[in-house]
Amino acid sequence: MTTTPWQKSSYCGEGESCVHVASATETIRLTESSDPTGAILKATPAAFSALLTTLKKDPHHA
């Protein structure tokens, strides 16, 4: 059994709820540290790139 190497967001401070990202074969995975269910969002690299591009253009849009 392999484990997914998660990377914590560089914008996360100490003790805060954080976004974690991991890449797997043809999939980018996202999870949030304070989610007790451990829910994981999966996206293709292209979709993840589009999400990041959109967020960088308008970081206050939620």
Q: What is the pLDDT of residue 50?
A: 93
Chain segment 25-61, per-residue pLDDT in tens: 789 999 888 887 888 899 999 999 998 898 888 767 6
Q: What is the pLDDT of residue 7?
A: 86
Distance CA 37, CA 26 (A): 24
Chain segment 8-32, per-residue pLDDT in tens: 888 777 766 788 899 887 899 998 8
Distance CA 55, CA 36 (A): 25
Give the residue extent of every domain in the chain. 18-57
Average pLDDT, the chain: 82
Q: What is the pLDDT of residue 47?
A: 94
3-state secondary structure of 51: helix
